Amino acid sequence: MQVFSDEAVNVPDSTDWLGTPLACLMPVEQAFRCHVCKDFYDSPMLTSCNHTFCSLCIRRCLSVDSKCPLCRATDQESKLRGNWALREAVEAFTKSRRAILDFARAPPPALQSPTEQSNSPTKRKATEMDGAKEEDQETKRPRRSTRSTKTRAAELTAAILQEEEDTTPSADPDYVDQPPDDGLVACPICLTRMKEQQVDRHIDTSCPGSPQAAASKRQAAVAQTPQPPSTFPSFNNRLGQSTQPQKPPERLPALAYSMLKDTALRKKLSELGLSTHGSRQLLEKRHKEWITLWNANCDSSRPKKRSELLRDLDEWERTVGNPGGGSRIGGIGMTIGGGAGQGPMARAQAAGAEIKDKEFDGKAWANRYGDSFGDLIKQARKGIKRQTLDGGANSGESAKEKKKETEAETEKEDTPADLLPRTRPDGDGESSVAPPTPMDIVPPSSPPRLDEQGGDTGMDDEQQVIPGTPEKGNSKWETSQQQKQQPPIAGDA
């Protein structure tokens, strides 16, 4: 328990209402929470199937399997629409939540129910101060009904103000009153932001002497607001943002990675100002994550700064971006299916999911990819002999022939059937063995890129275990001789 930070555990939750006289607010609060992250909706987006999720959540989900997490209807990121009414509702609710909760937890003695005692001590403590205050007032005015709505309203407003002061990060993560973290410092006099070493010189020479000047300058940059510049530039900033949104950043289109050569992809990344370092797979993932972050940010009512997004991407890269794929794909696999194979990884991952699907049409798949399989197998053969990459794709032969060949070879040696999805529901003999995904057969012999694959998988057995389908397909080149692993087929088929 003590491992967790406080924010991770003492999270506001809809169950907070339980045990208060306002337990009926629990479903209300639940309705304001995203089903994926369980937090209050952050930039809620409506799917084609009329479900709503946080922008970031649904974009993540769709980029993994293009299905609505709630009803599994297929959907696309481009079809998402902002649910602005809900956004406002959530904002209003989260702002008043604390006040209502405090109010509910410290009811007048007459209303105090025995269940109230069952409140968890930590939460109780958090509100004790307010509670005591409240109860104090109650003793002075014992009859609740006589309290004028005016006083109550005043109390509520006070509570709201207080709430605004100590907004919890989860309720309002983007409410930035602090200076932006851009590596700059503010001039102590005019509050203009600049590099630290410039400050002295600036004060001596160009400082206008009052924050107003700077503030109005800033406002001019943002677009005019009717408000006269106040002494709090950050406050102005906030107003400027909410009432006069800057030109909204444009959403980035998804890329068809399969159509892009490595150099083109690197160019795209550098155009976006992102790192071009890493394997092809990593490049694609990085680009994808950036698009997700960026587009989700576009949906936000208070978009973050680019530098903040970059920091998010950085964090992602350190953890999720490079999940210990390394050592698992490493080993012998690298000598055969190495570098050149990394490219279509993401595509193959999606394809792998497709293959496993119950409605998978093996025949169509074979028809569609027969050509490439044939080519790839040939390439691989050549490559194994020569240990050099033979880039030329032979395209002379008929698709049919190649398809046959593919299947035959698939059966024969390279791909033990047990590594492929076995029985398909249609029970058709021909399609009982699905052809491999393009990933399965990889032109060999590029130098291994162990460096990019590095990372601990948390696996302690030496056995080579490959995540997901496609890599498994990849691994069959070397694992088939080592051992045959029957994928379990459970049940009574």
Partner 1 sequence: MPVQFAAKRLGKELSKIQNGLPPGIELVSADNLEEWFLDIKVLDNNPLYLNETYRLKFRFSQSYPIEPPEVVFVKQADRPIPIHPHIYSNGIICLDLLGQQGWSPVQSVESVCMSLQSMLTGNTKNERPPGDEEFVRGNKQRPKDIEFYYHDNTV
Which of 11, 73, 111, 223 is close enough to bind partner 1 by CB under 8 A?
11
Contact between 1 and partner 1 per CB under 8 A? yes
15 lines the binding site for partner 1 (CB under 8 A): yes
CB of 9 to partner 1, least distance (A): 6
29 in contact with partner 1 (CB under 8 A): no
Supply the DSSP string of 248-302, one letter for each residue: PPPPPPP--GGG--HHHHHHHHHHTT----S-HHHHHHHHHHHHHHHHHHHH-SS
Q: Is 37 in the site for partner 1 (CB under 8 A)?
A: yes
Strand order from edge to edge, sheet including 81-82: 52-54, 44-46, 81-82
CB closer to partner 1 out of 396 and 488: 488
> Which residue of 50, 242, 395, 423 would you call a contact of partner 1, by CB under 8 A?
423
* Residue 52 parent element (H or E): strand 52-54
Binding string, residues 372-391; x marks residues near partner 1 by CB under 8 A: --------------------
**Nearer to partner 1 (CB atom), residue 150 or residue 318:** 318
Phi-psi label, residue 378: left if phi above 0, alpha if psi -120 to 50, beta otherwise: alpha
Quote the CA–CA distance of 462 and 326 in Å, as a whole number. 13
CA distance 340 to 337: 7
Residue 61 binds to partner 1 (criterion: CB under 8 A):
yes
Which residues fall within 8 angstroms of residue 55, CB to CB, at 6 or more apart?
42, 43, 44, 45, 80, 82, 295, 296, 299, 300
142 vs 144: CA distance, rounded Å: 6
Stretch that binds partner 1, among 128-136, 205-213, 446-454, 457-465 (CB under 8 A): 457-465
Q: Is 356 in the site for partner 1 (CB under 8 A)?
A: yes
Query: How far is the C-alpha of 450 from the C-alpha of 338, rounded, in Å?
Result: 9
Considering the complex, what minimum distance in angstroms separates the CB of residue 315 from partner 1? 5
> What gap in Å lies between CA 43 and CA 103, rounded to an integer?
28
Nearer to partner 1, 10 or 212 (CB): 10
> Which two three-digit tokens encode residue 125?
């403590």
Distance, CA of 148 to CA of 145 (rounded, Å): 8
Residue from 170, 225, 275, 367 binding partner 1 (CB under 8 A): 170
Task: Say if CB 46 and CB 55 are below 8 A apart.
Answer: no
Beta carbon of residue 1, minimum distance to partner 1 (angstroms, whole number): 7
Size of residue set near partner 1 by CB under 8 A: 65
CB-based contact 353:65 (threshold 8 Å): yes
Q: How many C-beta neighbours within 10 Å does residue 22 have? A: 17
| Residues numbered 311-350 forming contacts with partner 1, rule: CB under 8 A | 312-313, 315-316, 318-320, 323
> Which lies closer to partner 1 via its Cβ, residue 7 or residue 262?
7
Stretch that binds partner 1, among 62-70, 247-255, 330-338, 385-393 (CB under 8 A): 62-70
Is position 465 an interface residue for partner 1 (rule: CB under 8 A)?
yes
Q: DSSP letter at 412?
A: I
Q: Is 451 in the site for partner 1 (CB under 8 A)?
A: no
How near is the Cβ of 319 to partner 1 at its closest, in Å?
5
**Which residues within the stretch 196-255 sit at the binding site for partner 1 (CB under 8 A)?**
none
- Torsions phi, psi of 319, nearest 5? -115, -80
Among residues 31, 65, 203, 405, the one that binds partner 1 under rule CB under 8 A = 65
- The sign of the CA dihedral 418, 419, 425, 430 is negative
Q: What is the CA radius of gyration of the chain?
A: 30
Nearer to partner 1, 283 or 466 (CB): 466
For the chain, the first-to-last Cα distance in angstroms comes to 44
CB of 251 to partner 1, least distance (A): 18
Query: Residue 88 CB, nearest distance to partner 1 (Å)?
Result: 22
**Cα atoms in the 13 Å half-sphere on the side-chain side of 5:** 2
Residues numbered 245 to 304 that lie near partner 1 (CB under 8 A) are: 289, 293
Which of these ranges, 32-40, 237-245, 265-273, 399-407, lies near partner 1 under the rule CB under 8 A?
32-40
Piece in contact with partner 1 (CB under 8 A), picked from 64-72, 101-109, 195-203, 437-445: 64-72
Distances (CA, A) of 80 to 46, 47, 123, 302, 413: 6, 5, 37, 18, 46
Choice from 220, 223, 384, 459 touching partner 1 (CB under 8 A):
459
Decide whether 37 or 176 has the Cβ nearer to partner 1.
37
Burial (Cβ within 10 Å: 0-12, 13-18, ≥19) of residue 145:
exposed
Residue 57 Cβ, how far from partner 1 at the closest point, in Å?
7
Residues that bind partner 1 (CB under 8 A): 1, 3-4, 7-11, 13, 15, 18, 35-39, 56-57, 60-61, 64-65, 67, 69-70, 72, 120, 170, 289, 293, 312-313, 315-316, 318-320, 323, 353, 356-358, 421-423, 425, 459, 461, 463, 465-469, 472, 483, 485-493
